[in-house]
């Protein structure tokens, strides 16, 4: 007789195809939808994975990785099938926390080790907006939006507390040639932020963040009239991948699967803490990844114990991280809000990280920043008040270039050797270039890209780049 894991391996890729073309509605058999208190301002929890692929969860069709807690979260809320990010870390975190494209801003440099750049102080983050609406605001994990000065850190961008790392977990030798320590920081908005550990044991990152998240939920849940915002930005499964000893080998599917299943465990611990404190019914929980998995590895990342198979999967999607194909920018995403968002809802319309900002600000009853936003309010769609997603298009911006745009099912990509036009509903793997068959559509979408690029401070590739693949 097949084991439960083996049986799922047989069925999983059929499920993946059905997820993409609209055959099934996702997991519904998990926990029953909790009672909600919609009249109260909701608490907000964002759980943000690093380099997790579209196909890395069992609810998205992975044949071996088991993610029961994330599957349960999806069964209690909305599971997105066309949710978009930037192709790399920093612009994605910018989109999530400001609701705007990074191309609108002047970071004045990089934000990794030795980088002098930073999120401009003129930008209002989600934490600042929620803080102004009476929320306590707390961050755990990876920041990656500037660190060289105290003013660049999360505690000067609206977070009351922060415990975490200023950038990615590979910013150390042998992967990055820097003398900066890969350090753990801790601070509060009314005090100094300081380095508390210069010799991080990365195997304890996810479990350590989780323990502190549970403690924070316990501390904040009892405060009458003061909702909280918790942003937990995992370092995993970004290379180099690590997990605690008790999770090693547990998946039976390799190191990467162990790491993803550790994140799933963490999600379960957070949800259990919300339930124990009696606030799960009035808490919005969002789970997403910052971009797709890192498959096209540079030589530097194959040092120090990293292996080529320490990678995730995009499922059937083409491309990966650092690419404006969908494998680099289309990720698993879930939003749970009991009593407002239908349990087990399959959300097939377009959605993006910027929309999370706008939607959460609306849910909190806070005022939007007085500037042009790139996000849409998804709540009328997710609550059933409107039939369609408010997002009609998504612009794929990488390195200041608007390289591709999706409008409905059509996607035009201009970063390759020739214009590439794909119909993603019938060709989700982007295998067939239809540009020659639809030249008028190509020109209409190219002009649309040029107009939108001007709005967001980006450029559009004008000549063949030799990067099509």
Q: Which residues form the catalytic set?
A: 89, 144
Distances (CA, A) of 303 to 173, 174, 285, 293, 363: 9, 7, 36, 18, 45
Pair of tokens at residue 281 = 């019914």
- What whole-number distance in Å separates Cα of residue 182 and Cα of residue 165? 8
Place of tokens 């339930």: 275
Instruction: Give Cβ neighbours of residue 126 (< 8 Å, ≥ 6 apart).
Output: 96, 97, 98, 99, 158, 229, 231, 357, 360, 361
338: nearest Cα among 78, 145, 66 = 78
Instruction: Give Cβ neighbours of residue 269 (< 8 Å, ≥ 6 apart).
Output: 210, 213, 214
Helix axes 255-276, 68-75, angle to 10 degrees: 50
Residue 231's H or E segment, with its range, is strand 228-233
424: nearest Cα among 409, 402, 435, 405 = 409
For residue 137, how far is the Cα from the chain centroid?
Answer: 19
Name 459's bridge partners.
401
């Amino acid at each position: 007789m097949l084991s439960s894991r083996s049986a799922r391996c047989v069925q999983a890729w059929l499920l993946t195809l059905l997820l993409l073309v609209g055959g099934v509605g996702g997991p519904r058999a998990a926990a029953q939808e909790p009672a909600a208190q919609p009249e109260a301002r909701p608490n907000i929890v964002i759980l943000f994975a690093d380099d997790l692929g579209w196909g890395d969860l069992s609810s998205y069709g992975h044949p071996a990785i088991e993610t029961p807690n994330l599957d349960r979260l999806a069964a209690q809320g909305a599971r997105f099938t066309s949710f978009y990010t930037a192709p790399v870390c920093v612009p994605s975190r910018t989109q999530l926390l400001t609701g705007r494209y990074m191309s609108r801003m002047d970071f004045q440099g990089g934000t990794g080790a030795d980088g002098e750049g930073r999120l401009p102080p003129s930008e209002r983050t989600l934490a600042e907006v929620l803080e102004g609406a009476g929320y306590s605001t707390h961050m755990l994990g990876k920041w990656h939006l500037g660190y060289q000065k105290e003013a660049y850190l999360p505690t000067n961008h609206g977070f009351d507390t922060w415990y975490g790392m200023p950038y990615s977990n590979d910013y150390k030798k042998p992967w990055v040639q820097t003398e900066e320590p890969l350090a753990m920081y801790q601070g509060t908005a009314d005090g100094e932020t300081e380095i508390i550990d210069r010799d991080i044991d990365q195997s304890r990152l996810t479990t350590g963040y989780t323990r502190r998240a549970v403690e924070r939920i316990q501390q904040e849940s009892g405060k009458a009239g003061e909702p909280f915002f918790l942003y937990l930005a995992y370092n995993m499964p970004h290379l180099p991948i690590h997990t605690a000893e008790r999770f090693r080998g547990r998946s039976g599917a390799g190191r990467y699967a162990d790491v993803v299943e550790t994140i799933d465990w963490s999600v379960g611990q957070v949800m259990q803490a919300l339930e124990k404190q009696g606030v799960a019914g009035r808490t919005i929980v969002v789970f997403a990844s910052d971009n797709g998995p890192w498959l096209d590895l540079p030589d530097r990342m194959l040092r120090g114990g990293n292996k080529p198979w320490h990678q995730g999967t995009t499922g059937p999607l083409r491309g990966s991280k650092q690419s404006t194909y969908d494998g680099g920018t289309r990720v698993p995403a879930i939003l749970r809000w009991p009593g407002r968002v239908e349990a087990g809802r399959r959300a097939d319309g377009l959605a993006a990280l910027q929309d999370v900002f706008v939607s959460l600000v609306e849910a909190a009853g806070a005022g939007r920043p007085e500037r042009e936003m790139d996000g849409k309010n998804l709540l009328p769609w997710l609550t059933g008040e409107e039939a369609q997603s408010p997002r009609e298009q998504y612009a794929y911006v990488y390195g200041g270039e608007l390289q591709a745009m999706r409008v409905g099912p059509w996607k035009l990509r201009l970063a390759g050797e020739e214009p590439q036009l794909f119909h993603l509903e019938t060709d989700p793997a982007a295998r067939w270039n239809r540009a020659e068959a639809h030249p008028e559509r190509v020109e209409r979408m190219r002009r649309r890209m040029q107009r939108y690029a001007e709005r967001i401070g980006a450029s559009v590739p004008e000549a063949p780049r030799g990067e099509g693949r």
